[in-house]
Amino acid sequence: MTENYNAFKGLNLSDARMENETREEYKERLKQNKKVLKLYSTVGREQFQQMFPNGIHEALESSAKEALKTSQEELGEAK
């Protein structure tokens, strides 16, 4: 395992609302950050690294892309 592992690389953990962020996006980001930090503190660094070897941000992005793909396929079937 790498010594330079950064579990939260690319994840915005700031409590401040960004300029280009809507209120809903801001609240959703805070909720997501709270869940991620709770998981990290529950399972610990080593287990978290095994679960997310490339960091949590990449895992969240890939799950969002998969959800978008699935919803587009469902919409295509509904037509």
In angstroms, what is the C-alpha Rg of the chain? 15
Alpha-carbon distance values, 77 to 22, 65, 68, 70, 71 (Å): 31, 18, 14, 11, 10
Rounded to two decimals, the pTM is 0.74
Domain residue extents for the chain:
23-78
The 10s digit of each residue's pLDDT in 6-50 is: 889 889 999 999 999 999 999 999 999 999 999 999 999 999 999
List phi, psi (to 5°) of 33. Answer: -60, -40
Identify which of 43, 68, 55 has the alpha carbon closest to the alpha carbon of residue 12. 55
Q: Are the beta carbons of 20 and 67 closer than 8 angstroms? A: no
